[in-house]
Amino acid sequence: MTANKRIVLSSDHAAIELRQTIANHIAALGWEAVDIGPTTPESTHYPKHGAAAAQRVASGDCQLGIILCGTGQGIMMAANKVKGIRCGVCTDTFSARMIRQHNDANMLSIGVRVVGEGVALDIVDAFLNAQFEGDRHALRVDMITEMED
């Protein structure tokens, strides 16, 4: 993982406002928020936004990614099609911490129609404050990576 303190953010039309709130939140925490939109509320298609954010992480341009849609599920599925991406949907802080500690997740997905703003920001904090534990978990993450080839 490239430790450049840059986090890419994207969403579909459903989650623009929460995405921008999260971008401001992480910027206040000292991260560089790379918000790649969209910025206008027309209906759009979550796969292209998930893939675009995932490419920024996979290329090393951004250290981590945060993506959102109505449920968080569709955009997560798209992001996980990009080689090198491990993205989980979180609706609670325990999962947000564990996907970093055990799964070395490099992207977080949130559903704007599932959690409110306060919970979403706590999820983001839990994700960003956790560290991958390596050891036996590294072996398992490597097993996931091997499936990509």
Distance, in Å, from the CA atom of 54 to the CA atom of 137, rounded to the nearest integer, reads: 22
User: Is 102 a known active-site residue?
Assistant: yes
- Rounded to a whole number of angstroms, the minimum distance from the CB of residue 114 to ligand RB5 is 9
CA neighbor of 49 nearest in space, from 78, 86, 90: 78
Residue 76 three-state SS: helix
Residue that has been written with the tokens 């921008």 in this structure: 20
Identity of the residue, 16 or 124, whose beta carbon is nearer to ligand RB5 in the bound complex: 16
Residues with Cβ within 8 Å of 107's Cβ and at least 6 positions away in sequence, in order, are 53, 54, 57, 64, 65, 66, 67, 76, 79, 85, 86, 87, 88
Identity of the residue, 11 or 106, whose beta carbon is nearer to ligand RB5 in the bound complex: 11
Interacting residues with ligand RB5 between 14 and 73 (CB under 6 A): 14, 46, 69-71, 73
- 128 sits near ligand RB5 (criterion: CB under 6 A): no
Length of the chain counted residue by residue: 149
- Rounded to a whole number of angstroms, the minimum distance from the CB of residue 122 to ligand RB5 is 21
User: Is 69 a known active-site residue?
Assistant: yes
Identity of the residue, 69 or 128, whose beta carbon is nearer to ligand RB5 in the bound complex: 69
Active-site residue (options: 69, 87, 90, 137):
69
- 79 sits near ligand RB5 (criterion: CB under 6 A): no
- Rounded to a whole number of angstroms, the minimum distance from the CB of residue 117 to ligand RB5 is 17
Provide φ and ψ at 66, rounded to 5°: -130, 125
Binding site for ligand RB5 (CB under 6 A): 12, 14, 46, 69-71, 73-74
Residue positions annotated with a catalytic role: 69, 102
